[in-house]
Structure 1
Amino acid sequence: MSQKWTVSIILLAALGNLAWSLSARANFNGKLTVEIDGLNNNEGQVCVSIFASSQGFPNDRQRVLKRQCTQISEIPLKMTFDDLKAGSYAVAVIQDLNGDGTLNRNSLGMPVEPFGFSRNPDVRTSAPKFGDAAFVLAGPNTIIQIQMKKL
C-alpha cells in the first residue's frame, strides 16, 4: 500500500472518530444551575423560565421549555434544571413579590418587580432579544450567574 493511501485511511478514520464523538456529545442531557444574585430581600418567590428559541422570549409562558418557582431561602439563590439537551438557551428570571407568577408593570409598562436575564444584558427601555441573553449548554454541568435588576 502506498504512503498516500495510508495517510488517506488514517485521515478517514480520524474524521470518523471525530464525527462519532461530536454526535455522542450532541445527544447528551446536561444539568443547568442558575445562580441568582442581587436580590434585595427574601420577599415572594423567584421564578426562572428557560427558553430554547426566540419565539416568546422572555414573556410568553406558552413557549417556555422549563419553568420553576421557589421561595427565596438564601441569597444568592441557586436553582437547578436537569435533562437539557445540548443547544442554545436563554433564561428569564423574576422576583415575584406578590406571588401571581408574572412580572408586574406600572401604567407605563415598566417592571415594578426585580428581573434578570442570562448573560446579564443591559436593559433600558425594553427586554433583551433572545440572542443577547443566549448561551450554549454543551457539557454535563453548566452554571450561569444572573444579576437581578430593578428599574
Structure 2
Amino acid sequence: MKRFTSYALLLAIVGLTAAPHANAAERSSLTVTISGLRNQKGQVCLSLFSEGQGFPGSSDRAIESQCVSVISTETAVTFRNLNAGSYAVAVIHDANKDGTLNKGFLGIPKEGFGFSRNPRIRIGPPSFRDAAISVSGTSTNIMIQLKYL
C-alpha cells in the first residue's frame, strides 16, 4: 500500500509539472515580416483580426495592434500567445506617426499599406476571407509586401 501511495504521488507531481508545458504548446506566435518600405520615416502599424468585423480599417476591433519604429526597409513584428485559427493582418506605413492611414483626393491612400496573403487590390480593401491566414503549431511566419499608390 505504501508503494502504491508513493507511485500515485509521483504521478501527480509529474502531471502537475507537465500541465504548464501542455498549455504553452497550445499557444502560437505569428511573425509578420513587412517589406517594401519606401523610406525609414515614421512607424509601421499592424492590426491583427480574428474575424471580418472591422477588418481592415477599424483597429479598435482588432484583437491586437502594434506599432514599431521604422529602422530599415524591412521589419518584423511578432504576435504571441495566439490560439490556433484564422487571422488577417492589416499594415500601414505611418510615415508621419499620426496613427492613421492618410488619404488624399477620392480617398486614395498617401501612405503604404498591405494585408496578409498580399491580395490584389482593386476598388477598396480586401475582405477578411481574402486576407485570412491559418495560424497553427508553435509559430507561423508570413511576409507582407507594402503597396504605395
Name the SS of the counterpart of 1:108 in structure 2. Answer: helix
Which amino acid in 2 is paired with 1:36? I
> What is aligned with 2:87?
89
Measured on the aligned residues, the alpha-carbon RMSD in Å equals 1.5
Shift of 1:62: 1.9
Q: What number of residue pairs does the alignment pair up? A: 127
* TM-score when normalising by structure 1: 0.80
For 1:132 and 1:55, the matched residues in 2 are separated by 14
> What is aligned with 1:5?
none
Which amino acid in 2 is paired with 1:82? R
For 1:43 and 1:90, the matched residues in 2 are separated by 25
The runs of 5 or more residues in structure 2 that have no matched partner are 1-21
> What is aligned with 1:118?
116
Name the SS of the counterpart of 2:105 in structure 1. Answer: coil
For 1:55 and 1:34, the matched residues in 2 are separated by 21
Shift of 1:75: 2.8
Which amino acid in 1 is paired with 2:51? S
For 1:111 and 1:105, the matched residues in 2 are separated by 4
* TM-score when normalising by structure 2: 0.81
Identical amino acids, percent of aligned pairs: 50
> What is aligned with 1:144?
142
For 2:120 and 2:114, the matched residues in 1 are separated by 10
For 2:91 and 2:36, the matched residues in 1 are separated by 12
The runs of 5 or more residues in structure 1 that have no matched partner are 1-23
Residue 133 of structure 1 pairs with residue 131 of structure 2 = yes
Instruction: After TM superposition, list the pairs within 5 Å mapping 1:44-55 onto structure 2.
Output: 44-55=42-53
